[in-house]
Amino acid sequence: MTEEFAEPQNSEPEWLTIPALVEMLGITQSRVRQLIDDHHLLAIRRDGVLQVPAEFLRDRAPLPELRGTIFVLNDDGFTNEQAMSWLLDVDDSLGVAPIAALRAGRKAEVRRVAQALA
């Protein structure tokens, strides 16, 4: 069974712009920006353009486990760029990137590791 967004194997993630998210999610640009503002998605500027990794979506919607994890990282004092880096880079204690662990159903473990970063 193939998932719509396969986990990358040590490669650069696929990045989606706001217009790409509008098209993919079938919602307005203001609604996409609201998802970002409300921490359902995390976006950073890459080459001056606000972008979201495709891994943050499942079934054409934000990954539900992501929001609480973003809040934990924000509470730890992480900037959006630092939070993005942590989510996408392999974490030694998890053995995989935190986003991969979230997608695999390891939400509690990811949040425990994130809380320990404070």
DSSP 17: E
Under 8 Å CB-to-CB from 76, ≥6 apart: which residues? 114, 115, 117, 118
Rounded Cα distance between 57 and 38, Å, is 15
Percent of the chain with pLDDT over 70: 91
Q: How much is the pLDDT for 3?
A: 39
pLDDT at 11: 66
pTM, entire model? 0.87
Rounded mean pLDDT, 13-34: 96
* Residues ≥6 apart with Cβ < 8 Å to 94: 101, 106, 109, 110, 113
pLDDT at position 12: 81
